[in-house]
Amino acid sequence: MRILLALLLTLLLPMAAGAQGMTESAKIEALIASVQHLPGAVFIRNGSEYSGEKAAEHLRAKWKYAGKRVKTAEDFIVCCASASSMSGTKYQIRFADGRTVYAGDYFHQQLRRIEAGPVPAAAAKL
């Protein structure tokens, strides 16, 4: 019985931990990757359109420049990923289907998904 309980805990604890085991830097990288690999999406910065790859380069450069001001993924969204620090204009993302959202809203939604952790396969089928 103890062996079965230990086995179950070994299998279930990592799923329950979700993003709790992720560092803030890993969460930020996941946020950047989410826009970098978003199929057919365009990142709009100061009225100009950029590929996901160019958006990722820009966001990483802003993150590096922000230095110690960015301690958490939430800090990253607020300080680096929501608006131009020069003009104050909000960044936008236009999806392949034509929908456009503010980048800050998109990244907050992605952060909630990351922090919720993976959905167990059995629950995903429900």
Rounded-to-integer distance, Cα 59 and Cα 66, Å: 10
Domain with 74 in it? 19-114
3-state secondary structure of 105: helix
Nearest to residue 51, comparing CAs of 94, 88, 109, 107? 94
> Are 32 and 53 in contact, with CB atoms under 8 Å apart?
no
- The predicted model scores a pTM of 0.79
Residue 58 falls within a domain, yes or no? yes
Indicate whether 8 belongs to any domain.
no
Q: What is the pLDDT of residues 3-37, one digit of tens each?
A: 322 323 333 334 444 556 899 999 999 999 999 99
Is 35 contained in some domain?
A: yes
Confirm whether 11 is domain-assigned: no
**Residue 124 resides in a domain:** no
Residue 81 lies in a domain: yes
Residue 3 lies in a domain: no
Per-residue confidence band for 53, with pLDDT thresholds at 50, 70 and 90: very high
pLDDT by residue (tens digit) across 54-105? Answer: 999 999 999 999 999 999 999 999 999 999 999 999 999 999 999 999 999 9
Sequence-ordered list of residues with C-beta below 8 angstroms from that of 20, at least 6 positions apart, any chain? 117
> How many independent structural domains does the chain possess?
1
Q: Could you tell me if 45 and 91 are in contact, meaning their C-beta atoms sit under 8 angstroms apart?
A: yes
Take residue 6 and report the two structure tokens written for it. 């230990």
